[in-house]
Amino acid sequence: MLEINRLCNMGGVIVLSTENASSWHNIFALVLGWQMFSLTNVCSSSGGIGNPLAILRGTNISYKSMEHIRIFAYRGLIEYVEHFGFKVESILCSGYYPLPNWFAKIDPRHGHFITIKARKIAKEDRK
């Protein structure tokens, strides 16, 4: 975020997307004592670590970019972006496994993917 902030002009817009740590399927995995689905790809030589239902369980992950370093919950991503001098303008969520995607529009805090559109604002315009 420091680099994004440095490169973005005042008034510029950023769009960030991440998997949602607070999606229902991640919450249920944690309740069962399993690794949340969104953080099972932490090792390139063996995907799906810690979750017996993970899609890539036991496979080699082809791309280093598929290894997750961090993901955020709905509120955490908003606060993180705002901490670095951006004002969140809109939030969209998609995916609501195993239910149809339109559920994410009703309950965006628990959709699988979060996408934020935010604008860089001056310090005097921050909260």
Is the bond preceding 98 in cis, omega lying within 30 degrees of 0?
yes
Domain 1-20+72-127 has CATH 3.40.50.150: yes
pLDDT tens-digit series, residues 20-36 = 999 998 999 999 999 88
Instruction: Report domain extents, the chain.
Output: 1-20+72-127, 35-70
Tokens of 12: 């510029």
Average pLDDT value for the chain: 87
Residues in a beta bridge with 19: 113
Please name which of 29, 97, 38 lies closest in space to residue 66, comparing C-alpha atoms: 38
* Residue 124 DSSP code: G
* Residue 80: CB atoms within 10 Å: 16
pLDDT (tens digit per residue) in 9-65: 999 999 999 989 999 989 999 999 998 887 877 776 777 888 888 877 877 766 655
Q: What is the pLDDT of residue 63?
A: 60
Which tokens sit at 59? 């496979």
Q: Tokens 């510029």 correspond to what residue? A: 12
